[in-house]
Amino acid sequence: MEFFGILLVIVIVFTFNGFKIAQEYERSVVFRLGRYQGLKGPGLYWIIPLVEWQKKVDMRTKTVTVERQETITKDSVTVKISAVLWYKIVDPQKAIIAVENYGDAVYQIALTTLRNIIGQHVLDEVLKSRDTINQTLRQIVDETTEAWGIKIEMVEMKDVEIPSSMQRVMAMEAEAIREKRARLIKAEAEFEASQKLADASKIIAENPLALELRRMQMVQEVGADHNTTTIIMLPSDMVTLAGSLTNYLDKQNKG
């Protein structure tokens, strides 16, 4: 009787020991005597103790920081680049069976791929075309990790550090570009001004009196300053015209 009691306790302990719980974001890869049996979870499930064992896999998106590393661009510039990678497991079976440590594997493939891609681009492309490089990097890494049941969601280059000597050269180049742009704008303004002057000269040539009116306007502008003495030289026809106009006004007043 005592034997059956002990056996019953063993059976109960054995049975309850097989109950497992997986969280909503977890899946359990179950093996039976070393052979893949299937997936369990989420929630409560039961495996055969001593015969079956499990390996839980977190299905949530994971973040991997690719440490800063030195690499050489296509135009032989040494840069230090770090990146961040986001991935998630879409096939737990492959993630456990196809690769020993999927976390280290993803990190190493991202590290080497980043170095290779930077070596295929010049420095200007690395600085200005980050989105394109990030997309290319994501595609290459994703193609490799697909066999491991892993989906690469996004890759972003975090920091790009260039040598101080190259920073000075780039600053000088940027300054030269800005100076060139300023000179072009000034030249365009002078060209437009010359066109306006040419149009004005044509109008004045057709109507000489307009030149004299402009001259009188300039005299008025100069005379606005009360502390200046202005000497005006008028052409003889303007003096004659002014005298005739005065005589005409006098006759009108006397009449």
The domain of 27 spans: 2-57
Residue 27 lies in a domain: yes
Q: Residue 118 is part of a domain; what is its CATH number?
A: 3.30.479.30
Q: Where are the alpha helices (DSSP H) in 18-57?
A: none
The pair phi, psi for residue 110, each rounded to 5°, is -65, -40
Tell me: do 68 and 159 sit in the same domain: yes
Are 74 and 116 contained in the same domain? Answer: yes
The pLDDT tens digits along the chain (255 residues) read 677 777 787 888 888 888 999 999 999 999 999 899 999 989 999 999 889 999 999 999 999 998 888 888 888 888 999 999 999 999 999 999 999 999 999 999 999 999 999 989 988 888 888 889 999 999 999 999 999 999 999 999 888 888 777 666 666 776 777 777 878 888 888 888 788 777 777 776 676 666 666 666 666 666 555 555 656 555 555 555 555 555 655 666 665
Let me know if residue 209 belongs to a domain: no
pTM of the model: 0.64
| Structural tokens at position 146 | 């697909």
Residue 67 shares a structural domain with residue 39: no
Domain boundary among 57, 81, 97: 57
Residue 102: closest CA among 44, 23, 29: 29
